[in-house]
Structure 1
Amino acid sequence: MAKLQITQIKGVVGEKPQMGRTLRGLGLRKIGQSVEQPDNPAIRGMVRTVRHLITVEEVD
C-alpha cells in the first residue's frame, strides 16, 4: 500500500483554527516536520484542506 510523505512548509498563524486542527490530525506540529501517512480518502481530504501549508510526495 502506498504512503504519503507530508511536510509542513508554512505555519498556521493567521489561518482559520480548523487549519491548525487539521495539521495536528495529520501529525504535524512544526514547520519543516515530515510524517508518513497511509494513502486513503480520509488523509487525502485532510491534505486537500491544508494544501497551501504542506508539500506531499508518494513513497513506497
Structure 2
Amino acid sequence: MANQQTKTVKVQLVRSPIGTKADHRATVRGLGLRKLNSVSELQDTPAVRGMINKIDYLVKVL
C-alpha cells in the first residue's frame, strides 16, 4: 500500500488577499500560500477543496 499514489492539486495565488475578510486571509495562509503567484501542492481532499472553493476568487487551480 505504500506505493499507492495520493492525488494532489496545485493552487496558485493570483490576487492579493489585502482587503478581504480575515477568515479568507487565514484560508490563504492555511493553503500554504504567501506571496502573489506562489504555488502550493496539496493533497486533494474534501477539506482542501472546500478551502479552495471558499477563496476561488483569489486562487487558480493548476
> What is the TM-score with the length of structure 1 in the denominator?
0.90
Determine which structure has more spread, i.e. the larger CA radius of gyration. Answer: 2
Structure 1's unaligned 5+ residue stretches are: none
Give the fraction of aligned pairs with identical amino acids, expressed as a percent: 33
- Bigger RCO of structures 1 and 2 (CA < 8 A, at least 6 apart): 1
Superimposed CA distance per residue, residues 25-58 of structure 1 (whole angstroms, 9 cap, x where no aligned partner): 000011010010000000000000000000002x
CA RMSD of aligned residues (A): 0.7
Structure 2's unaligned 5+ residue stretches are: 1-5
Aligned residues: 57
Greater strand content:
1
> What is the TM-score with the length of structure 2 in the denominator?
0.87
Q: 4+ residue runs of structure 1 moved beyond 2 angstroms?
A: none
